[in-house]
Amino acid sequence: MLTLLQSYPLFAALIALLGLGLGFGAVLGYASVRFRTEGNPLVDQINQLLPQTQCGQCGHPGCKPYATAIAEGGAINKCPPGGQETIDALADLLDVEPQALDAEHGEEKEPNVAYIREDECIGCTKCIQACPVDAILGAAKLMHTVIADECTGCDLCVEPCPVDCIDMLPRKGGIEHWRWDLPEPNENKSSIIATDRAAA
């Protein structure tokens, strides 16, 4: 056998390659069974990055559906509450070029919290049905109120209200939310090279 192989090196090579192929194939096959992941990890990873406002501004009924759409190749720049930061994080995860926010779906703004002017509320429960995270408390014909800590500021309750008693107020106005800004990088106020600034 050995002598045969020595005299036909082509066979030796073929056998070696075949052997390697079978070996690695077996390892890969075993690994795919042994380390199988449940569900779609990519959708979950994308969903982790989305802000979970559930506002539907992207055109999908919630963040998870949008995450599924992105995983299937959808655009990553349709999420105004997440803003540029989310787009950059998604681009980083999916290894694609970051894009600017698609203005069609709205603008990036500071997070809000819904506030019901309670003496005007007629207790119609329409906002309760609209709230994607069950953050409005109340019952029919009784005054409603928003659990401010759970409100995502999605605006979805504003439209259905028949008496327009819901205000969207900034969530981070107070002194306790204030934080330091990064200093102006005045060591290079313009970009890296002169032409960058013209482009920007």
Where does this chain bind another protein (CB under 8 A)?
47, 50-54, 62-64, 132-135, 150, 152, 174-175, 178-183, 185-188, 190, 192-194, 197
Q: Which residue type occupies 39?
A: G
Question: C-beta of 115: minimal distance to another protein in Å?
Answer: 17
Q: Which is nearer to another protein, 72 or 176 (CB)?
A: 176
Minimum Å gap between C-beta 152 and another protein is 5
Distances (CA, A) of 21 to 18, 29, 109, 110, 120: 5, 12, 55, 56, 74
Do 53 and 152 form a contact (C-beta atoms < 8 A)? yes
Shortest distance, CB of residue 134 to another protein, whole angstroms? Answer: 5
Radius of gyration of the chain (CA): 28
Query: Are 134 and 77 in contact, with CB atoms under 8 Å apart?
Result: no
- Dist. CA 134–CA 129, nearest whole Å: 8
CB of 172 to another protein, least distance (A): 9
Beta carbon nearer to another protein, 4 or 194: 194
Is 133:195 a contact under the CB 8 Å cutoff? no
- If the CB atoms of residues 150 and 164 are measured against another protein, the closer one turns out to be 150
Indicate the residue among 33 and 194 with the shorter CB distance to another protein.
194
